[in-house]
Structure 1
Amino acid sequence: MRPNIIFIMADDHASRAISAYGAGINHTPNLDRIAEGGLRHDATYVTNSICTPSRAAILTGTHNHVNQVTTLVTHLDNRFPTVAGLLRSSGYRTAIYGKWHLGEGPAHEPKGFDDWAVVPGQGDYWDPAFIFPDGKRRVPGYATDIITDMSIDFIEKNQDRPFFLMCHHKAPHRSFEPHPRHAHLWADEDVPLPETFNDDYSNRAAAAAAAKMRVRSDLTWEDIALVQPIGPEAVAGELVVDFLKMRKVPDLAPGDTISVICAETGERFTFDDPQAFAEFKYQRFMKRYLRTVQSIDDGVGRMLDKLDELGLTENTLIIYTSDQGFFLGEHGWFDKRYMYEESLQMPFLVRYPAAIPAGTTSRDICCNVDFAPTFLDYAGVKVPSFMQGTSLRPMLEGKTPEDWDQLAYHRYWMHNDAFHGAWAHYGVRGPRYKLIYWYNKPLGQIGAHPNDAQPEWELFDCDTDPFELTNLAHDPAHAGVFAQMLALMDAKMAEIGDVAEHVSADVLAGLKLPEPA
């Protein structure tokens, strides 16, 4: 019997914010139910650490230079075949509810789905607008609960035949708006500060210091629920952009003092110590984030309970993931975009009692382009030749073949955007080492540009340096490792058809670099 397939994806949910991953900063009992009943995967990597390209890779099973969705403003042409359309053609009932973020209008709206309701753009947390096949309208309530309700309704109506459901939460995308039922969480305790919170970015490529994603200086007043006591909040019942809220909260210079007011309580806080102010912002940011995550866990619990109630648990493949990772103060950052581990790694929890052993883990490398072939494999549908991913079924069932491709490829194209300052790069992540090439040019630019930084390499030993603090690219003792990783990257780029910006390993081979010790 072909399994039902439920794919639940959050937005910006870091693995560290799922208790099954063992970081100890929050408790997500329902997400843990998936891991306990199946597999927790520890090496799932995104091919492009930003929302829109990741979603395109998941739907099409292709890298972004193939599906042409490389940035937030390059949308998916819905004539491109997707896993949803292939499953629907094979007899599955298909649906998607929640965040789409692949464009609007006839050329970009969801195709291949029997039913769909998606939020425009990022969507709103409260009383969100949804685009339905017959038009747009607002739905009262809290977005995470609404998306869960729609998903459960679809399950109930389609329990008599195989179904493929994509439940795409808006949460916990910033600016975070937790449900009031979780306001009590972390009220009397602080979130542990990451070891690298005060990173000085020494011995790294220039891109690390250039990023405008610092908790100290780049969060907005809205991110931490603090506003200066002026500025409009709403007009005629409709939310409007309050640019005071969107302004960045400045870092505090030594010797200066700052007073801020809490929008929720009216309480005033005064700081004269830069570190204390930075940590205050971190706590405000993290507690709102974790409270927002908690509603997702609630919704997952309701869906799991419904599967139990309907007798569908045994024959349902259920996956929980996020569209990429997210920095939770590591290296002093928030957001994503970079190929560093916290941004690159996606959570990936999978349960299918009929075939996947309960309580298992894996570190065999996989990527989000592998999701679509996996769904098709379990559904008994031939994986089309245009898909570049590989079915994860052997790995999920504890039968990883010896020739498994233990290499992940990542490319970020949005060079030096105004809000985050992230630089263009690509690279590969193997079981131990990671190689990154910061080519530092806007998409489509030919040749150097006077305002761009020079290209740089980074090489990290992720076993001995898990926080990626020491760049080994110029270390003579690791020259052989560098050459090997470069050769692997060249081969991967040739395999998937991406165009390199660097000198190939074939050219460097003439340098007779030493073998690794």
Structure 2
Amino acid sequence: MKKISVILLILVGTVSVFVALKPHKPKRPNIVFIMSDDHAYQAISAYDKRLTSTPNIDRIAKDGMLFTNACVTNSICAPSRAVILTGKHSHINGKVDNYFPFDTTNITFPQLLQANGYQTAMFGKLHFGNNPKGFDEFQILPDQGNYYNPDIITKKEGPKKLMGYVTDLITDITLNWLKNERDPDKPFFLAYLHKAPHREWIPAERHYKEFIHKTFPEPSTLFDNYEGRGSAAKEAEMNLLKHMNWAGDSKVFPENMKKLGIKESHSYDIALYNATVGRMNPEQRKVWDDTYRPMNEEFMKKYPSMTEKEKMQWRYQRYMQDYLGCIASVDEGVGKVLDFLKENGLDENTIVVYTSDQGFYLGEHGWFDKRFIFDESFKTPLIVKWPGIIKAGSKNSQMVQNLDFAQTFLEAAGIKPPSDMQGESLIPIFKGQGKNFRDAAYYHYYEYPSVHMVKRHYGIVTEQFKLIHFYYDVDEWELYDRRKDKNELKNVYNDPAYAKIKADLHKKLAQLRIKYKDSEELDKMYIAKYKELEKSGKIFR
């Protein structure tokens, strides 16, 4: 009997040693994907401290990696989101602009995460489609959504109306899911998606009362005259003074516009003001009026004697006060989510990403909006933390794109990406092993002629150079030296000193067009389809 007991003990000990020696399968990371709409990298203090402070977004940079050349493939809202979800360029996923429909036969990375054991949730602004695939739970804003008392589409309860400020509501919904609906036995993918700071820039009342009194430094190119460049920059309709709405954007009361003889910038100027501010309940509206009426009264006294330069400067300050006021709430919400992850022991095995669907002009070149391949529009904030993988406080200047998110998340989850995805995993860069990552990014913008009138163009961008082809109603090429000309003011396409560089970039651009399956034939096809939409009256001008 003793002999049998000894043998059993030896066997048990052997099994225990075997189990101990067996490699431990690492736990798959959670993924929190935070995206704001039209959040310029210039408006994050981890990138640039001149305009505002974003201490909570900066926490991600402090604990992770900040990308200084992250960029998009197509700088416009819905197409950018389609690229992120599919890992495919716009001409492949079908969503080339805000009018063309998304090809719903595309497989998105959340579908693959969900099919492979991840719990998935999306809260906030999707911007296209009301039934996102691959999510166990979603609550999303219809189309652009509203800043105050927004409508929302839910997976379980259908449409409903919420009371409050949209950024705070999206944060509260997100935290409720993390606290009460998350399955602790599953890894999760959480898309936490803000409407802010999208136009018409309505901050939370706690912030507009603060920001309306602030003054911000002007960009050096606020009064750009576009000399030395082609027709695209000259003809774009994004000028703060000429094209920004007086009521909808600058918050000049419609009755004051009438008294001053100010005409609407667009037919929808006053209508947008009424539609946004008109959603406020009486208590919200009183705070709004009490804050913005004094600003209006001061403006009415100044306006009759203001020069064109002074009007431009006034409109820039008004823009920044509301735009940056919107971001203040986003930063607070990010802080709450980060705090929850830390307090509940989730932060050590969670990838946290902060980004935007594209960049945005904050008065540079006299502009607002996006669309161009020029840096303020083309570049997007990207900050990622992943404890144990990414070195805290690191920076990267390589040409990474929103095209890369899908494959990155799938690889992190141990899932093989579909062969038709066109991005590259960022994980080697996270680990400091991205030496052979792409050396050039491809870009293509389609929505013309339409609102803001930015011409169709495609191009190639490296860390030092940018070659652009504007087409459709023109045939113009532009070349910029990004290191010597950081504001992109001088087109050196015809400069003999850049002849060799130009030839090399033309060759590489042609190769990228082939690699990503883009072509003149596709350009012509999308132009023909766009003209059909124009004829049917579906294009917004």
Pairing 1:253-264 to 2, within 5 Å after superposition = 263-264=292-293
Query: Could you tell me how far 1:181 is from its partner in structure 2?
Result: 1.3
Q: Structure 1-normalised TM-score?
A: 0.87
How big is each residue's C-alpha offset from its partner over 1:465-486, in whole Å with a ceiling of 9 and x where there is no partner?
0100000111122111111111
- Tell me if the contact between 2:237 and 2:452 (Cα under 8 Å) persists in the aligned partners: yes
- Tell me if the contact between 2:209 and 2:291 (Cα under 8 Å) persists in the aligned partners: no
Matched, 1:170 2:204: no
User: What residue number does 1:194 align with?
Assistant: 219
Matched, 1:147 2:181: no
User: What residue number does 1:410 align with?
Assistant: 443
Cα root mean square deviation, aligned = 2.0
> Which of 462, 483, 489 is 1:469 aligned to?
489
Query: Could you tell me how far 1:112 is from its partner in structure 2?
Result: 0.7
Whole-Å separation in 2 of the counterparts to 1:391 and 1:198: 40
Query: Could you tell me how far 1:146 is from its partner in structure 2?
Result: 1.1
User: What residue number does 2:264 align with?
Assistant: none
- Tell me if the contact between 1:95 and 1:115 (Cα under 8 Å) persists in the aligned partners: yes
How big is each residue's C-alpha offset from its partner over 1:437-496, in whole Å with a ceiling of 9 and x where there is no partner?
001x2xxxxxxxxxx3x2100000000001000001111221111111111111111001
Unmatched runs of 5 consecutive residues or more in structure 2? 1-26, 259-266, 274-289, 523-541
**What SS is found at the alignment partner of 1:6?**
strand
User: What residue number does 1:286 align with?
Assistant: 320
Whole-Å separation in 2 of the counterparts to 1:231 and 1:480: 54
How big is each residue's C-alpha offset from its partner over 1:285-343, in whole Å with a ceiling of 9 and x where there is no partner?
11100000110000000000000111001000000000000000000000000000000
User: What residue number does 1:117 align with?
Assistant: 139
How big is each residue's C-alpha offset from its partner over 1:209-237, in whole Å with a ceiling of 9 and x where there is no partner?
101000121110221111231799xxxxx
Whole-Å separation in 2 of the counterparts to 1:71 and 1:28: 31
- Tell me if the contact between 1:196 and 1:332 (Cα under 8 Å) persists in the aligned partners: yes
Letter in structure 2 aligned against 1:68:
G
User: What residue number does 1:355 align with?
Assistant: 389
User: What residue number does 1:206 align with?
Assistant: 231
Matched, 1:432 2:464: yes
Whole-Å separation in 1 of the counterparts to 2:176 and 2:72: 30
Unmatched runs of 5 consecutive residues or more in structure 1? 233-240, 248-260, 442-451, 503-517
Q: Greater shift after overlay, 276-285 or 95-104?
A: 95-104
User: What residue number does 1:489 align with?
Assistant: 509
User: What residue number does 2:4 align with?
Assistant: none
Q: Would the alpha carbon gap of residues 277 and 60 (structure 1) be closer, same or farther in structure 2, given more than 3 Å must change?
A: same
How big is each residue's C-alpha offset from its partner over 1:2-35, in whole Å with a ceiling of 9 and x where there is no partner?
0000000000000000000024210000000000
Whole-Å separation in 2 of the counterparts to 1:290 and 1:464: 29
Q: Greater shift after overlay, 188-197 or 309-318?
A: 188-197
User: What residue number does 1:381 align with?
Assistant: 415
Matched, 1:58 2:84: yes
**What SS is found at the alignment partner of 2:512?**
helix
User: What residue number does 1:5 align with?
Assistant: 31
User: What residue number does 1:137 align with?
Assistant: 160
- Tell me if the contact between 2:203 and 2:322 (Cα under 8 Å) persists in the aligned partners: yes
Percent identity, aligned pairs only?
A: 41
Pairing 1:277-426 to 2, within 5 Å after superposition = 277-401=311-435, 403-417=436-450, 419-426=451-458
Whole-Å separation in 2 of the counterparts to 1:264 and 1:390: 51
> Which of 100, 105, 121 is 1:95 aligned to?
121
- Tell me if the contact between 1:6 and 1:165 (Cα under 8 Å) persists in the aligned partners: yes
**What SS is found at the alignment partner of 2:132?**
coil
Q: Which has the higher helix share?
A: 2
Q: Which has the higher strand share?
A: 1
**What SS is found at the alignment partner of 1:292?**
helix
> Which of 478, 483, 490 is 1:458 aligned to?
478
- Tell me if the contact between 1:54 and 1:368 (Cα under 8 Å) persists in the aligned partners: yes
User: What residue number does 1:448 align with?
Assistant: none
Whole-Å separation in 1 of the counterparts to 2:63 and 2:209: 29
- Tell me if the contact between 2:123 and 2:191 (Cα under 8 Å) persists in the aligned partners: yes
**What SS is found at the alignment partner of 1:125?**
coil
